[in-house]
Amino acid sequence: LQEYKLSNYIFWLNMKHLVIGNWKMNGTLAHASEFAQHLNEKLWQEEMLTQIILSPPTTLINYLKQNLDSKIKLAAQDTAVNKEATGAYTGDISAAMIKDIGCDYVIVGHSERRQYHHETNQIVRQKAEAVYAANMMAIICVGESMAEKESGSTCKVIESQIKESLPVSATPENTIIAYEPIWAIGTGLVATKDEIGMVHNFLNNMLNKERVSFAKRYKLVYGGSIKSSNVAEILAASYVDGLLVGGASLLWKEFWQIIKVVSEHQKIMSLECS
């Protein structure tokens, strides 16, 4: 029985859903200060069953590391492509420097970087390798455009993004996969439960088929126009292990509400399985 309880406990620890907030190019010190104060108070009042990860702009990482409850982990939104910790690369910030200021995660291959900075799958892969070299986890983003969705090539696009963006050294221990359909980002057009389920199922078959232990699967998170009012529907899709929230993560009340819905969902799931 003891053994059963322990494995159950490890199972649930590993199964913690993720709520990742991506602030993109938003946020001042004043904003970060108010956000940290409110979120800390909420966390001290209530135990949450989720792993919260915040990805502020680089300028605020150090401040938030000092001022946010340490239960919240930090992610950078990008890293230099080089594996070196230092060097003559004006304007770049290495993965080792990001780790040094307290991050455990780095988002790589966000569609906004792929689009505005012409980051190819190969660059995304090199960046993920730089993240591993600095002992952090990579949150690798994939997703199709509206034109690709309409032409029925969603899975084909996702498949080549995964094949080409994931380093050979990628494992569930160093990588989280974020599915963010480009047409759902910042548009208010959230993907339906069936659309999310279809892609997450596809990703799960591609990445986790051989993994017999549930606790050792790649975590698959969804992102795109998430609000507290649509979280329950998104979580009802298959193989959704968490959320990557953009705009709504800037507003502490809304972000907290999202965390609460995810935590409640997790509680119900754990009761059903116990």
- Residue 243's beta-bridge partner residues? 19, 222
Q: Which residues inside 56-95 make contact with ligand 13P, applying CB under 6 A?
A: none
**Selected range binding ligand 13P among 86-94, 119-127, 224-232, 259-267, rule: CB under 6 A:** 224-232
Nearest approach, Cβ of residue 211 and ligand 13P (Å): 26
Token pair, residue 170, equals 């990628």
| Position 228 contacts ligand 13P (CB under 6 A) | no
| Position 109 contacts ligand 13P (CB under 6 A) | no
| Position 180 contacts ligand 13P (CB under 6 A) | yes
Q: Which residues inside 8-47 make contact with ligand 13P, applying CB under 6 A?
A: 22
| Residue position matching structure tokens 């126009």 | 225
- C-alpha 84 chain-centroid distance: 25
Nearest approach, Cβ of residue 227 and ligand 13P (Å): 8
Q: How far apart are CA 8 and CA 214, in angstroms?
A: 11
Q: What angle do CA 154, 55, 79 make, to 5 degrees?
A: 80
| Position 246 contacts ligand 13P (CB under 6 A) | yes
Q: If DSSP codes are grouped into helix, strand and coil, which group holds residue 75? A: strand
Token pair, residue 257, equals 């509400």
State which of residues 171, 186, 213, 233 lies at the interface with ligand 13P (CB under 6 A): 186
110/125 with CB nearer ligand 13P: 110
DSSP-derived secondary structure for 169-238: T--TTTEEEEE--GGGTTTS-PPPHHHHHHHHHHHHHHHHTT---GGGSPEEEEESS--TTTHHHHHTST
Backbone angles phi, psi at 174, to 5 degrees: -120, 0
**Selected range binding ligand 13P among 80-88, 89-97, 123-131, 242-250, rule: CB under 6 A:** 242-250
87/186 with CB nearer ligand 13P: 186
**Selected range binding ligand 13P among 33-41, 162-170, 197-205, 218-226, rule: CB under 6 A:** 218-226
31/83 with CB nearer ligand 13P: 31
| Position 225 contacts ligand 13P (CB under 6 A) | yes
Closest residue (Cβ) to ligand 13P?
Answer: 246
Q: How far apart are CA 176 and CA 158, in angstroms?
A: 15
Are residues 206 and 267 in contact, defined by beta-carbon separation less than 8 angstroms? no
Nearest approach, Cβ of residue 122 and ligand 13P (Å): 21
**Selected range binding ligand 13P among 84-92, 153-161, 208-216, 222-230, rule: CB under 6 A:** 222-230
Angstrom distances, CA of residue 65 to CA of 39, 45, 89, 204, 227? 13, 20, 25, 33, 25
Q: Which residues inside 140-169 make contact with ligand 13P, applying CB under 6 A?
A: none
State which of residues 172, 181, 197, 223 lies at the interface with ligand 13P (CB under 6 A): 223
Q: Are strands 175-179 and 105-108 parallel, antiparallel or unpaired?
A: unpaired
Which positions are catalytic? 110, 180
The residues that touch ligand 13P, with contacts defined as CB under 6 A, are 22, 110, 180, 185-186, 223-226, 244-248
